[in-house]
Structure 1
Amino acid sequence: MKATLLALAALAATAQAFKDTSPFLIVSSSPLPKLESSTGGLGLSAEILSSTKSLLQPCTSDLYLIVSQPSMSIHDIAGSPFLKSMVTARQAGNSGVVMREALGFNGAESMDLVRFLGSKCGARFAQTVEGSGKRVVLREFAALEGRGEVREGLVGDHDAALQKELSQIPQGTSYTLIYLTTAPPSSHPVSPSTSTSTPEENIYQPSFENDAVHMDLKRNLAPPARGKGPFSDQRPLFEQYQFLSPGLFMGLLVGLILFAILSVGISAISGLKVSYAAFEKEMGPAAQKKVQ
């Protein structure tokens, strides 16, 4: 499925989210106009809604699927594999404007978009994605509650329902998915690192001192106690330490062999007996005969 990503959503679910913000995105299989002004990582609901209407104004899709998900945090996208794959997909030709977090959504924006698409594009309100002609379908999921595995289970169920909904779109039908969410209540914060941590545990409270901190190197100069205490080793010296290791044994053995070879060579050289006359030049008649 090749979808043109025009996302006003969070790509990184592990990033630190702003307070009272929620993800928002648009994914379309048909070409949509590109906004002249690039959106950043945070936007107000009025600005995002106005930009969304300008994107939908050409009415290039046959089906508009609006999903309303209350009480969703930017970190919940990590538990939505299908939605995350659509957001992070970067296929050839896909381009879009990324908005990581939206501020100020209250849930009424979904009906506003339904009325806009009905008046501007002539899309009729439908209950299912199957059919012909321009139509708009609204799906409202239950609010996410709880923490930890309970919340992850709800996020996974809604993600599977969204995947099933998109799989029922007829072949050849161009569609546009608009994913609207609202921020979780302040009394139920969602932590990116752990779902059971409290807000007080995530607050960084630095402590500073006016005086300079001096850290001196302390050494224990006292001699170690020998043979005292319940954990001291009372075994004999030759049982505590290994004096003849395998390496030392092999070194001694090779040394003995080399010493034996050296002693044989020295004894052979010293055993040679040559007279001093053997090195003198012969001057008698026998030497003259050898010369002739």
Structure 2
Amino acid sequence: MTTTSNILIIGGTGLIGEHISNAIVAARQHFNRIALFTSANTIFTKSAFVDGLRAQGVEIIVGDIHLADDVREALTGIDTVVSCVGRAVIAAQLQLVALADRHPDVRRFFPSEYGTDVVHNAASAAELPHQAKLRVRAALTETKDLEYTYLVTGPYADADRGLYLSASSPENEAGGSFDVRRKRAVLLGDPAAQINLTTMRDVGQLVVAALLHPVESKNRALLCNSFTTTPAEILAEFERQSGGEKWEVSVTDLPALKRLEKEAWARGEARAVPLSLRRIWTEGGTLYEKERDNGVVGMEEGVESLEVAVGRAVRLQMQ
């Protein structure tokens, strides 16, 4: 049985990476060695976070994810790779997978899968935002010796940088918004339709749980979440936690959302990918036919609630 003792975190200073790094470090009593592979630029731009990890015993390895020699050296003595790279670097994992598969020390690989289910239904294979992740999955299934785990969590229940509980600018709010300062929301699709959400804190906790359950998580996708809710329930919780007043509300239905998405792709706009993902979620792309897999890795209890997620979003937006 392959267990995790020595972990290399790649991309561990990014939006989701910080949460995953923090969760792994918090569970360091279960591991022998924790290392972070990061760029020289990140050492400078995110020095406080990197120094904080170093102070907690994390080994900092500086290198270039695109240079095979740097990666091979970083993998020495590592049995498990946890990748948290951002969307712009997803395809770089193809080389990471190949190098890890050929490395004598590496046995487990967690690709940067966190988010939307890329094989949710027959249409998933054609979705533009999924293509890089699908190629990484294909590469992992063709490896000789690597065990792998895909942790699928659905959209993040947070308000950071345009996430599901964030406030959009007035010119972009038709793509969804929960704006605490303006007390205004734009709901997507049917306000009573369900959606699964996962806080970024819980993504980190779920990664650790999967690391500690190697048999249960081996060579499979884990479909996990924090809670199931509806846009209407999210709005009600925001209203309750922002003073109890009713918000101004509008709805972007699915046909309108599809039009926005099509126009954004045609114009080459940066918001094309987020709009595609929000359309997928609005169509039911976060819902699973079976029960969630939290219990498979011992996380049926202990995940965060809608109340906690909205409370954090309110505090962040009001900073």
TM-score normalized by the length of structure 2 = 0.28
Larger Rg: 1
Tell which has more relative contact order, 1 or 2 (C-alpha 8 A, sep 6+): 1
